[in-house]
């Protein structure tokens, strides 16, 4: 279902307007197309809303094409709503004054970002950039506030989403401070193993460059590559370009990582 919808949006006729290269212009907002409404209806935040409510939200939603390398927003930009990813990968990152980058999160289809800042009227803390060709929807802050006033269940779902994001943040802090680099890499490789493979083997396609993934795991690119080669040397993984095959999930999971 979502694959068909992604294809429809990828080839759709929705235009985009950006303010300062990162924020949609409400004054020239295009008329939403049916695929936009259909996609919003499958986002967990909106899933239980009736069709009339979805249409109302879609009327304040802008579809943004984001070819690889597109900067959707920068740290310090005002937050005028939040973004939902239709397809592609979006990198949220921090930059130091010297230009080095720390990837905070890699996000994919169906995920959203920017919700929390709508409520405290603070500027963005991160930069959001597409790591491959992507499309995102920008939902205006005004329509979110109106839906919260109209339906308390909407507020509860948004709180649940923000709470889940905080839970993942605490798991990241635990990983960076209490787990070795090898443990972080193994956790990354097996993060979806239960859902993606009922068997004891798994093939993963790296979702971004090694540098981006290494930064996400709080590792240098050299350290990340060295760990992959150590796992490959131990016969725990097989590497072919951007694909990594895990022939024995349980063996990798119980690998001595001290």
Number of separate domains in the chain:
2
**CATH code: domain of residue 228:** 1.10.10.10
Question: Nearest to residue 86, comparing CAs of 144, 155, 11, 26?
Answer: 11
Does residue 258 sit within a domain?
A: no
Q: Give pTM, 2 decimals.
A: 0.70
Grade residue 193 by pLDDT with cuts at 50, 70 and 90: low
Q: What is the reported pLDDT for 6?
A: 41
pLDDT tens track for 16-27: 333 333 333 333
**CATH code: domain of residue 170:** 2.60.120.10
Does residue 166 sit within a domain?
A: yes
Q: Do 53 and 131 belong to one domain?
A: yes
Helix (H/G/I), strand (E/B), else coil: 137 = strand
Q: Is the pLDDT of residue 258 over 80?
A: no
Contact 220, 214 (CB under 8 A): yes
How confident is the model over 129-143, as a mean pLDDT? Answer: 93
Q: Residue 44: CB partners within 8 Å, gap ≥ 6?
A: 110, 157, 161
Does residue 55 sit within a domain?
A: yes
Tell me the C-alpha distance between 106 and 12, whole Å.
25
Q: What is the reported pLDDT for 27?
A: 33
Q: What is the reported pLDDT for 98?
A: 79
Q: Is the pLDDT of residue 9 over 60?
A: no
The dihedral built from the CA positions of residue 105, 81, 87 and 200, taken in this order, carries a sign that is positive
Contact 181, 219 (CB under 8 A): yes
Give CA separation, 73 vs 21, 25, 137, 161, 213, in Å: 8, 13, 13, 21, 20
- Show the domain range for 139: 2-176
Q: Do 86 and 187 belong to one domain?
A: no
Of 176, 201, 219, which one is at a domain's C-terminal end? Answer: 176
Q: Residue 132: CB partners within 8 Å, gap ≥ 6?
A: 68, 88, 89, 208
Of 141, 176, 211, which one is at a domain's C-terminal end? Answer: 176
Helix (H/G/I), strand (E/B), else coil: 80 = coil
Q: Is the pLDDT of residue 191 over 60?
A: yes
Q: Do 64 and 169 belong to one domain?
A: yes
């Amino acid at each position: 279902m979502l694959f068909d919808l992604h294809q429809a949006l990828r080839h759709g006729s929705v235009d985009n307007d950006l303010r300062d290269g990162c924020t949609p212009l409400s004054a020239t907002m295009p008329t939403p197309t049916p695929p936009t409404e259909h996609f919003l209806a499958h986002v967990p935040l909106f899933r239980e809303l009736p069709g009339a409510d979805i249409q109302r939200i879609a009327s304040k939603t802008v579809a943004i094409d984001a070819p690889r390398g597109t900067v959707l927003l920068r740290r310090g930009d005002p937050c005028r709503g939040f973004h939902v990813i239709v397809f592609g990968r979006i990198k949220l990152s921090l930059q130091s004054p010297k230009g080095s980058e720390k990837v905070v999160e890699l996000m994919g289809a169906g995920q959203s970002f920017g919700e929390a800042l709508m409520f405290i009227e603070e500027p963005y803390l991160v930069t959001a950039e597409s790591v491959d060709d992507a499309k995102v929807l920008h939902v205006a802050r005004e329509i979110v506030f109106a839906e919260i006033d109209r339906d308390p269940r909407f507020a509860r779902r948004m709180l649940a989403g923000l709470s889940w994001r905080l839970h993942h943040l605490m798991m990241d802090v635990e990983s960076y401070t209490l787990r070795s680099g090898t443990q972080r890499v193994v956790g990354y490789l097996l993060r979806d193993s239960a859902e993606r493979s009922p068997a004891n083997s798994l093939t993963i396609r790296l979702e971004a460059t090694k540098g981006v993934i290494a930064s996400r795991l709080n590792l240098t690119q050299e350290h990340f590559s060295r760990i992959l080669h150590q796992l490959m040397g131990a016969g725990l993984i097989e590497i072919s370009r951007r694909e990594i095959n895990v022939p024995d999930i349980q063996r990798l999971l119980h690998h001595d990582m001290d």
